[in-house]
Amino acid sequence: MPAAIEVRKVPIHSVADASELATLIDDGVLAADRVIAIIGKTEGNGGVNDYTRIIADRAFREVLVAKGAPADQVKQVPIVWSGGTDGVISPHATIFATVDVPEDDPSRAEQRLTVGFAMSEPILPEEIGYVAMIEKVAAGVKVAMERAGITDPSDVHYVQTKTPLLTIHTIRDAHSRGQQVWTEHTHESMDLSNGVTGLGIAVALGEIEMPTDADVMKNRDLYSSVASCSSGVELDQAQIVVVGNAAGVGGRYRIGHSVMKDALDQDGIWEAIRSAGLDLPERPRTADLDGRLVNVFLKCEVSQDGQVRGRRNAMLDDSDVHWHRQIKSCVGGVTAAVTGDPAVFVSVSAAHQGPDGGGPVAAIVDLG
C-alpha cells in the first residue's frame, strides 16, 4: 500500500528560488528524501524556449540534495513545470511528499490522496502526433495508477504529464533516419504533444476507445476530464504523475475534479472543490473555503469557434499576442477570483483535455 501524502503549496520568489521548499524541510513539515513529486508554475514565456523551467528544476533539485536526499534518487523525482504566469497568476510550486500515518488512524478507512509516478518508453519525434505515442502514454498511466494503489479509474482525478515536443534538432534527427514528422513548426508541436498525451490518458482510464491518427487535433469530442499535459525540450519520454484517492493510505488530503465548460465557468471550479470533499453552500464564496483549499490545477484552451458564450473574441486572429497567453491570463483571473489566491496552476494548450473552449479542473483540499 502506498504511503500517505503531505502536500504543500509554496511561493517562488524569483526564477531560481527554492527557499520555501528548504523552509518546509527545516521546519520538519516534510523530509527531503520523501519528496515524490513537484508541480509548479514558472514566470517564463511558456514557449519552446522557456528556460525558466530548467532553472527552476535545477534549483529545487539542488535543495533536495543539499537537505540530505540522495542525488540519484533526486534525479528520478518527477518535477513538472508549466511556464508562463500571465496576468495575475503567481509563480509557485505544489510539493508532494510521503509521510507516516499510524495504522489505527481513522483516515485510513476513508479515501485519501495518493500519488503514483511512471515514465513511458522513449517517444521518437516521428511518433509525436500519432497512435504510437498514445499507446506509450496509456501504458505509462496504467503503471502510475498501480504504483498509486488505484484499481478503479474513477478514483483518478488528476494526471499531470510532461512530454517531449519537436525541436529543430529532433526534426532533423527524424529526417536523417528517413522519417517524417507531424509538423515542422516547433511551437505548434507543443499543442500537438499535449493533445496526443491527453488522448493517451483518456484511453488508459477508459474515457474513450483508441482513436485513429486522423482523430488527433481534429475530433475535439475525444478528451480526458482529468488530463493536464505539458511539454518541453528537457526530456524524451512521457513523465506521468497520477493523483487520486484510495482507501487504506490515510492522511489529511483528498482530491476531486470537474471540468470548466468554457473560459468563464466558475461553477466548474467550485464543483471540483466539492468533489474533493468540502461541504459548500449552493452559491459559495471564497470565504467558504476557510483556508482548506491547497491548490487547484486547470488546463485551458481557446474555443475553436472564436467565441465565449456566443460573444466573438479576437484571440485567434491576434498577431501581436499569441492566444496561449491571452486565454491563460483570462482563466487565471477567473480562477483567482474563486480561490482568492493568484497562486493557481493554470496551464494552456488543452487539446483533448476537457471540452473545446474549456478544460479539466482538479482540486486538493485539507480535510484536517
pLDDT, tens only, 226-271: 999 999 887 899 999 999 999 999 999 999 999 999 999 999 999 9
Rounded CA gap, 237 and 136, in Å? 9
Give the Å distances, CA to CA, from 134 to 189, 197, 199, 211, 287: 15, 6, 6, 9, 42
> What pLDDT is attached to residue 46?
86
- Given 189, 193, 230, 231, which residue is catalytic? 230
CA-based nearest residue to 93, from 55, 127, 119: 55
The pLDDT of residue 242 is: 98
Cα–Cα distance for residue pair 192/182, rounded to 1 Å: 9
- DSSP-derived pairing of the beta strands 345-348 and 239-247: unpaired
With CA atoms as reference, report the closest residue to 301 among 274, 326, 266, 275.
326
Name the catalytic one among 9, 67, 142, 162. 162
What integer pLDDT is reported at residue 121 of this predicted model?
97
Q: How far apart are CA 107 and CA 113, in angstroms?
A: 11
How many helices (DSSP H) and strands (DSSP E) are in the chain?
8, 14
pTM assigned to the model:
0.95
Mention every residue, 6+ apart, whose C-beta is less than 8 A from residue 175.
181
Q: What is the predicted pLDDT for the residue at 185?
A: 95
Tell me how far apart the alpha carbons of residues 184 and 167 are, in angstroms, rounded to a whole number: 8
Q: How many other β-carbons are positioned within 10 Å of the β-carbon of residue 33? A: 16
Is 261 an annotated catalytic residue?
Answer: no
pLDDT of residue 48: 79
Which residue ranges in the chain fall short of pLDDT 50?
Answer: none
CA distances (Å), 111 to each of 43, 69, 150, 156, 333, in order? 35, 29, 11, 12, 31
DSSP string, 56-95: HHHHHHHHHHHTT--HHHHHHS-EEEEE---TT---EEEE
Active site residue 349: no
- The single-letter code of the amino acid at 153 is P
Chain center to CA of 181: 26
Distances (CA, A) of 146 to 34, 142, 149, 196, 227: 19, 6, 5, 22, 17
